[in-house]
Structure 1
């Protein structure tokens, strides 16, 4: 069993056995038939993944590495808020007639701010500090900008990354660690998707900054399983597991802005069957 499988299974069991139900509460999400989408949830879930040991893709079912990388690059590299710049259709529900999701996600990454070193957006600031001030305790991004929330079609879920660099004894290369803060997460549809996205980001930033990827810590304020997902989760976590896949990142790319979805792949990735027709609450 991979570490990612173990973490996922234990998290789901904990939510199902010790979580709190929102049934009967006034909740925003609903199903397509108009009924309220209730959840079982846990507050303050913290999962740690050591990227130097394995890539954290679960094997219980397949996580589409190129698609989740594409979405991450849409936000962090293209700094786009328009679904026309994205290959998948997962954001279609929140886009207006022009394809825009408002001042959310990639829009915030592209806003330039004034620093003593000059004007930079959040991504360029992270890369600058990792290269010039790697041991700074101030290397972070934030997408949850209150003044723009009213103009966002969806409030950011994974909203903040904090980077922290360490040096392991006897190793010349520095180690890049990261902490992902997420206000809310639909565990079945998004958990491993988000974990893999930010694991890829960590590997990419480490490579272009001459470092090695270390720990990714994932903090979820509201980790929940929807009522109609419970039987799917129960079947999923009861499946056979396989060894973790090997992650490949194109070693020729030295500029973060030159990465594409085709510069990543998972080798020897054996998984259980995909779950189809997952009901999605909106």
Structure 2
């Protein structure tokens, strides 16, 4: 079986050759396949793609945001991470409080209309500044609803109790390593209507063998060019963190995809990426003085020998 970055590139090739043309909620259009699996041996290096630069700092700050149980983009903006801005921004421009220029369908319009793009950038910069400087505005419009952090750390039951799934799965790994119930779910059907974006990476499970911790993720919807490289790195990092806390080595990250798609406005970028040679994977180093996953901050991660090809820009579909 092809593994590592070659497995990712093989998926890209397969979608381009065999994908089904489909419409989607963003009105962008995709080519997609259903059901695919990739494997990454975490002992062979950290699986951050090398055929294009993937910003590790953004991957790490987003994962820490999930781990903290946070659902407000203010923490992300404080760490110069803009990857969730559009979903919060969309809530604001659709609200009765918004009085600026029409921002309907801003994602598609900004790609086609340079004059509108300037308006959009101005409004987005104003929005970000308000989130960072106005606490009441941030509480109202920086909030994304019951997204990943909420489900991982404060899943609400029908009895009004909360479940810290992340703490419980770590305890389960420590105390009952052979269990088949080392599972965390982000898909809470009751909360889905109240999320800015229902979880794409919906469920993950851990497996321990030979003193090594492996993780399998089921991802219902996979934006293969923009999102999947982040998801691979994020869950690899999560596996390293939990293995460190539990005194285990790392094993594999297994990535199982439902609807794996390339957006129609990413096809040229994918072809550029496929024309590049794979380079050696970088190495990840954790601050060994930190014992708990919940104590880590950005400065506790070090990535060495990451020498990727240049980044490839592409628009995000909202």
TM-score normalised by structure 2 residue count: 0.78
Distance in 2 between residues matched to 1:48 and 1:222, nearest whole Å = 17
Partner of 1:64: 55
Counterpart mapping for 1:1-282 below 5 A? 4-22=4-22, 25=23, 27-29=24-26, 36-75=27-66, 77-86=67-76, 87=79, 88-95=81-88, 96=91, 97-111=140-154, 120-167=163-210, 174-276=211-313, 278-282=314-318
Distance in 1 between residues matched to 2:312 and 2:272, nearest whole Å = 10
**Structure 1 residue ranges without an equivalent (≥5):** 30-35, 168-173
**Structure 2 residue ranges without an equivalent (≥5):** 92-139
Over alpha carbons, which structure has the higher Rg? Answer: 2
Moved more, 191-200 or 238-247: 238-247
Does the CA-based 8 Å contact 1:113-1:121 persist in structure 2? no
Distance in 2 between residues matched to 1:5 and 1:138, nearest whole Å = 29
Q: CA deviation at 1:8?
A: 1.8
Distance in 1 between residues matched to 2:155 and 2:216, nearest whole Å = 23
Moved more, 83-92 or 175-184: 83-92
Task: Name the CA shift for 1:265/1:111 in 2 (closer, same or farther; >3 Å).
Answer: same
Q: Which has the higher helix share?
A: 2
Q: CA deviation at 1:53?
A: 2.1
Matched position secondary structure for 2:315: coil
Q: CA deviation at 1:54?
A: 2.1
Partner of 1:171: none
Distance in 1 between residues matched to 2:225 and 2:262, nearest whole Å = 7
Matched position secondary structure for 1:188: coil
Distance in 2 between residues matched to 1:94 and 1:229, nearest whole Å = 20
Does the CA-based 8 Å contact 1:4-1:57 persist in structure 2? no
Q: CA deviation at 1:110?
A: 2.4
Matched position secondary structure for 1:47: strand
Task: Name the CA shift for 1:200/1:280 in 2 (closer, same or farther; >3 Å).
Answer: same
Q: CA deviation at 1:123?
A: 0.6
Structure 1 runs of 4+ with >6 Å offset: none
Matched position secondary structure for 2:257: strand
What is the alpha-carbon root mean square deviation over aligned residues?
A: 1.8
Q: CA deviation at 1:265?
A: 2.4
